[in-house]
Structure 1
Amino acid sequence: MLATETLKNKSVVYVIDNDQTIRESFSLLLGENGYAVSCHENAESFLSSLDATKQLSISCALLDVNLSNLSGIDLQRTLINKGINLPLAFVTGSSEVATAVAALKQGAFDYIQKPIQKDVLCNLVAEMLFKAHLDRQKFAEANAIKALFKTLTSREIQILELVVAGRSNKQIGLELNISIKTVEQHRSNIMEKLQVKRPSGLLHLVFKYQKSLPHNQTNYTP
């Protein structure tokens, strides 16, 4: 696991709660434990803060369900619609099961009822920030893989799809009406562009690329 102190230095914890006492309490506790904290009394202030910082830091959020204007659940849904992915934990006085289920179904990291013990809060924040760190790594890796696939020509993509389907060089040549030597050259170019040395490495990279695609996209078209 990445060192906790390293994560603290690169992260920010957002606290969104309309209760000033809660905001000040969480800010003081987390600040004493080395975390940078950004407090907001409503969803609108929090969203404006995100827009201004462009999420340069690894971050997570502690939020209440019963915020004024935009509720905590609505804020969670807004973040999802904006494509903003950061771990959220609801720390709330509400014990409504339906609300907790809705939050968790939408991907909330946790749903904890107030009051929350100090060590529980700090451990929760540490776990969320580590998840945010891993998510950022996965996002960067997915983008790097997508960049490699964008270098392929339409013909190379066509051949790659046939390779993944299990076709031999001879079968590919017959299907595309090209020579085996030409197929071999294209396969060599594909391997070089995708920076893999073995067929197994190629298949592994293809599967990782497919996992990064939207659910409605099934081919390798950039």
Structure 2
Amino acid sequence: MTKIFIIDDQTAVRNAIAEMLSVFGFTAETFESAETFLERHPGGSSDEPACIVCDVRMPGIDGIEFVRQCMAGGRSVPVILISGHADVPMAVAGIKAGAADFIEKPVDDASLVAAINRAIAPQRDTNRDVQRARDLDQKFSRLTPRQTEVFDLVVAGFTSHAIADRLGLSTRTVESYRAQIMDKMAAESVAILVRQAIQLGRTAP
């Protein structure tokens, strides 16, 4: 579930946004200041999709300075700025600082949810890619040393007969290994197996 961090010095505003986002299936955590957020979440990234919704005008670290600090600290979590006194120069400054979006108060539910979905889309894609890579590594780790040998030769373009000659095996045995490899790697064709080998770094594209 996507986590949304809400930073606003007005209790009523941050609670209202948190309640609204919960209706849309998000998990919200609220903070009364940017300083409080930075103290509780000093890390630079998130394993799950997350987004920060931050007011611009706040005592201490304001929203634009908060974005600058997030960018300088290498934080990968996108920040959406909100303001009840928005003007063009402020919006431009926020985007230049690195904000993902800028929304005026009173916050429109649909606009905020749309902005959040746009902001976290790259994270979701990245997380899916990371999970796919982990799944592929796990599948490959289940191959025996002999199956790994056959795997590398298959993706290199060797026929079963050529692999049999190279490894001193019967063609039938190689075919059995190939079937086991295809099953363990959940590959429906040699083409898929080759793509997997490229992703694993075991052959060049």
Instruction: Give the TM-score, by structure 1 length.
Output: 0.59
Query: What is the CA–CA distance in structure 2 between the aligned matches of 1:168 and 1:97, rounded to whole Å?
Result: 59
Partner of 1:152: 143
Highest Rg: 1 or 2? 2
Partner of 2:195: 207
Query: What is the CA–CA distance in structure 1 between the aligned matches of 2:29 and 2:193, rounded to whole Å?
Result: 39
Q: Note if contact 2:44-2:75 (Cα within 8 Å) is conserved in structure 1.
A: no
Matched, 1:193 2:184: yes
Query: What is the CA–CA distance in structure 1 between the aligned matches of 2:126 and 2:71, rounded to whole Å?
Result: 22
User: Aligned pair in 2 of structure 1 residues 193, 36: CA closer, same or farther (>3 Å)?
Assistant: closer
SS in 2 for 1:163: helix
Query: What is the CA–CA distance in structure 2 between the aligned matches of 1:179 and 1:138, rounded to whole Å?
Result: 38
Partner of 1:25: 13
Structure 1 residue 208: deviation in Å? 4.8
Amino acid at match of 2:152: E
Q: Note if contact 1:89-1:111 (Cα within 8 Å) is conserved in structure 2.
A: yes
Matched, 1:71 2:69: yes
Partner of 1:89: 79
SS in 1 for 2:41: helix
Amino acid at match of 1:115: E
Structure 1 residue 204: deviation in Å? 2.1
User: Aligned pair in 2 of structure 1 residues 138, 24: CA closer, same or farther (>3 Å)?
Assistant: farther
Amino acid at match of 2:100: Y
Query: What is the CA–CA distance in structure 1 between the aligned matches of 2:111 and 2:28, rounded to whole Å?
Result: 17
**Root mean square deviation of aligned Cα:** 3.9
Partner of 1:163: 154
Equivalences for residues 118-137 of structure 1 within 5 A:
118=108, 119-128=110-119, 136-137=127-128
Query: What is the CA–CA distance in structure 1 between the aligned matches of 2:75 and 2:116, rounded to whole Å?
Result: 22
Structure 1: tracts of 5 or more residues without a match: 1-9, 80-86, 104-109
Q: Note if contact 1:60-1:132 (Cα within 8 Å) is conserved in structure 2.
A: no
User: Aligned pair in 2 of structure 1 residues 209, 169: CA closer, same or farther (>3 Å)?
Assistant: closer
Q: Note if contact 2:147-2:177 (Cα within 8 Å) is conserved in structure 1.
A: yes
User: Aligned pair in 2 of structure 1 residues 124, 46: CA closer, same or farther (>3 Å)?
Assistant: farther
Amino acid at match of 1:185: S
Amino acid at match of 1:163: V
Q: Note if contact 2:18-2:30 (Cα within 8 Å) is conserved in structure 1.
A: no
SS in 1 for 2:92: coil
Partner of 1:115: 104
User: Aligned pair in 2 of structure 1 residues 27, 50: CA closer, same or farther (>3 Å)?
Assistant: farther
Select the residue among 45, 51, 75 that pairs with 2:39: 45
SS in 2 for 1:95: helix
Amino acid at match of 2:38: E
Query: How many residues are matched?
Result: 180
Structure 1 residue 50: deviation in Å? 9.5
Structure 1 residue 149: deviation in Å? 1.0
Query: What is the CA–CA distance in structure 2 between the aligned matches of 1:24 and 1:136, rounded to whole Å?
Result: 33
Amino acid at match of 1:66: E
User: Aligned pair in 2 of structure 1 residues 12, 142: CA closer, same or farther (>3 Å)?
Assistant: same
